[in-house]
Amino acid sequence: MITIPAAVDVAALKDTTLLNMGIFALFVAVTMVIVLRASRNNKTAADYYAAGRSFTGSQNGTAIAGDYLSAASFLGITGAIAVNGYDGFMYSIGFLVAWLVALLLVAELLRNTGKFTMADVLSFRLRQRPVRIAAAISTLAVCFFYLLAQMAGAGSLISLLLGISDWGGQALVIIVVGALMIMYVLIGGMKGTTWVQIIKAILLIAGAAVMTLWVLAIYGFNLSSLLGGAVDAANNPAVLNPGLQYGKTETSKLDFMSLGLALVLGTAALPHVLMRFYTVPTAKEARKSVVWSIWLIGLFYIFTLVLGYGAAALVGADTIKGAPGGVNSAAPLLAFHLGGPLLLGFISAVAFATILAVVAGLTITAAASFAHDIYANVIAKGRADADTEVKVARRTVVVIGILAILGGILANGQNVAFLVALAFAVAASANLPTIIYSLFWRRFTTQGATWSMYGGLASAVILIALSPVVSGTATSMIKGANFAVFPLSNPGIVSIPLAFLLGWLGTVLDKRQEDRGKQAEMEVRSLTGVGAEKAVEH
Amino acid sequence: MGNDARTQDAAASVDFEEVQATQQFKDLRKRHRSFVFPMAIGFLLWYFAYVILAAYAVDFMSTKVWGNINVGIIMGLLQFVTTFAITGWYVSYSNRRLDPIAAEIRHGIEGHDYDKSGNSALGGGAK
């Protein structure tokens, strides 16, 4: 009943360009209308940054899934499983298990103690200026790495869909994506961005579900035969076993550990995920959002296992690697194989929407952090009125958009799941120790916080700069140079423990005592939600 | 609207150190930590055991169990199962053991039971 083309003819993809662009234009038009409607009553800073705290747990949970299931998850993981077999599945597991850290240790406590940004929580009981500046800098750094990954994904996707393989053409597309994103965020603020995330999450999960069922149907709903198909296509039984990518040497095994650590500890420290908890009215709704997003995200990652091995079996790893867009093209190629131009068009439009929405979410987070933490609290010392703050945030959006476009052009061609893993490593090193310590360790001090944040951030970024990702191998960003003295491509295994250690050391060596009353206030607020629960109490 | 995350009015004059020292609050903190800490350690250990096995026990993970499905894939899928299970467990624990006591303390604070002046304000019974 299903006609399956014998092999995927990559050249035939070019004929579908107009259709792809049409479907994508439709998505942009529909979401733009929604954003315009949603933004009608954006008045205060709480409206702009936190969507007036008007979303329900399930809406916010869907939006979190939308934020989290980025191009890295969809294009990157599917590609990694299709090409590297089992080792790619590791991403799915790490990205999901990580949510338990957010659920158990961070989400509700953070919702109860903050207002708009991560820095609100971290500076709650410590000295405002130094901690706020450190938290804002690390927020900006993590957002920047994450943005790079998304923009690089946009480049790969375009090269596949529009058959644009020259550098200038791809750069132009990245500029268009960046410009659209700036418009969404400027007009819609957090409310508009959230609605874009919700729509996109539903489309992405539905699209992945259809493809998963389709692949399973081809193999008679038998996972074992699907895996057998992947083995036959690759002519290598090792695709089902761990170690194909990371098992080659002792160093690469260590790299695998490092990746695993960064994935599981990064999520609860991602500023754009943390900021989502402020769009709901209460901690209970924050908990509901996390539960809702764990179910959606978990379901989606189970799909990636089928999609990845499905692409390996039906499209073939060599065809994927040879296609424009490389590893990242596995999911779109599988869509083309299954449903022809129409499904490819739909899946590609969803992938575009994904990139657009995630980039918008990151941008609003970075802008909020700059305007709220650096401008309003440090430069204007709290004397800026909300209007000026929102104005600064909007200008920051434009600056960040331009930076993201430039960075995306540079990072074009890297595996996006891998780039996102670097953002996770930076987040886990720079933010997580301070979040955990300030919520759970009474003695924690300002010096501990700044040592941990700057130490974690600097060690992660420097180790990445000195790693094979940047120089020394054929796939490095800077070709022809070799200053890769650090052997691992993910810095997590060094920088995360180091940041925890620095936080402890900075605290025990600190001669200053922090305000006892503030510590009591933070602990009581975080567990009881007093002051934060007004909206439902009255 | 009054739905900012930190509306000051209700909590401005509260003596939080007094609240923190109450038995009721200590109970809440103990119930919270005695659940989340062991659970966090447990799932992290289980996750790292899985990662270490995948890196260093390739032969074991490659053992075929049923058709082409091997131990690695089963353990990977079990990570999903445990994640869903812990999520459900935590929600039911919070609803039963944490939320009621947290709400009680919150009402106490909002009813001015812990104001800095030391004597309870008249509005105490309003809630």
Q: What is the mean pLDDT of residues A205-212?
A: 94
**Could you read off the pLDDT of A100-127 as tens digits, one per residue?**
999 999 988 988 887 778 888 888 889 9
CB pair distance less than 8 Å for B79 and A96: yes
**Could you read off the pLDDT of A406-443 as tens digits, one per residue?**
888 877 666 666 778 888 899 999 999 999 999 999 99
ipTM over 0.85: yes
CB pair distance less than 8 Å for B91 and A301: no
CA B54/CA A239 separation, integer angstroms: 13
Q: What is the mean pLDDT of residues A279-300?
A: 88
Q: Is A101 on the interface with B (CB under 8 A)?
A: yes
Search chain A and give the residue with CA nearest B90.
Answer: A104
Q: What is the mean pLDDT of residues A238-265?
A: 86
> At A70, is the pLDDT very low, low, confident or very high (cuts 50, 70, 90)?
confident
* A435 within some domain: no
What is the secondary structure of B79-109 as a DSSP string?
HHHHHHHHHHHHHHHIIIIIHHHHHHHHHHH
Q: Containing domain of residue A23, as a range?
A: 10-44+54-251+283-414
User: For residues A349 and A355, is the Cβ–Cβ distance under 8 A?
Assistant: no
Q: Is A321 on the interface with B (CB under 8 A)?
A: no
CA A465/CA A462 separation, integer angstroms: 5
DSSP β-bridge partners for residue B69: B66
CB pair distance less than 8 Å for B83 and A100: yes
Write B113-117 long-range contacts (CB < 8 A, 24+).
B114/B14, B114/B15, B114/B16, B114/B18, B114/B19, B115/B13, B115/B14, B115/B15, B116/B13, B116/B14, B116/B15, B117/B13
CB pair distance less than 8 Å for A530 and B105: yes
Q: Is A295 on the interface with B (CB under 8 A)?
A: yes
Q: Is A286 on the interface with B (CB under 8 A)?
A: no
Query: What is the structure's pLDDT at A440?
Result: 93
Query: What is the structure's pLDDT at A15?
Result: 64
Q: Best-predicted range by mean pLDDT among A94-98, A148-152, A229-233, A500-504?
A: A500-504
Radius of gyration of chain B measured on its C-alpha atoms: 23
Query: What is the structure's pLDDT at B4?
Result: 43
Query: What is the structure's pLDDT at A414?
Result: 66
* A444 within some domain: no
Query: What is the structure's pLDDT at A380?
Result: 81
User: For residues B94 and A287, is the Cβ–Cβ distance under 8 A?
Assistant: yes
Contact list, A96 vs chain B (CB under 8 Å): 79-80, 83
Is A153's pLDDT higher than 90? no
Length of chain B, please? 127
Q: What is the mean pLDDT of residues A483-508?
A: 92
Query: What is the structure's pLDDT at B6?
Result: 43
* A291 within some domain: yes
The whole-number mean pLDDT for each consecutive block of 10 residues of chain B, a chain of 127 residues, reads: 43 81 93 95 95 90 88 93 96 93 89 65 38
> At A474, is the pLDDT very low, low, confident or very high (cuts 50, 70, 90)?
confident
Please report, for residues A110, A339, A500, B99, the alpha-carbon distance to residue B95 in angstroms, rounded to integers and kept in the order given: 18, 45, 32, 5
Search chain B and give the residue with CA nearest A49.
Answer: B4
Query: Would you state the structure tokens that stand for residue A140, as one six-digit string?
Result: 């900006």
Q: Hey, which residues 428-457 in chain A have their CB within 8 Å of chain B?
A: 440
Structural domain count, chain A:
1
Is A482 in a helix, a strand, or coil? coil
* A473 within some domain: no
DSSP β-bridge partners for residue B64: B70
How many residue contacts between A and B have a Cβ separation below 8 Å?
Answer: 194
* A92 within some domain: yes
Query: What is the structure's pLDDT at A342?
Result: 84
Q: Hey, which residues 106-145 in chain A have their CB within 8 Å of chain B?
A: 111-116, 120
CB pair distance less than 8 Å for B47 and A295: no
Q: What is the mean pLDDT of residues A157-175?
A: 75
Contact list, A285 vs chain B (CB under 8 Å): none
* A166 within some domain: yes
CB pair distance less than 8 Å for B87 and A103: yes
> At A298, is the pLDDT very low, low, confident or very high (cuts 50, 70, 90)?
very high
Mean of the per-residue pLDDT values of chain A: 84
CB pair distance less than 8 Å for A86 and B94: no
Query: What is the structure's pLDDT at A536?
Result: 39
* A365 within some domain: yes
Is A535's pLDDT higher than 60? no
CA B15/CA A38 separation, integer angstroms: 40
Neighbour count for residue B125 (Cβ, 10 Å): 7
> The domain that contains A218 carries what CATH number?
1.20.1730.10
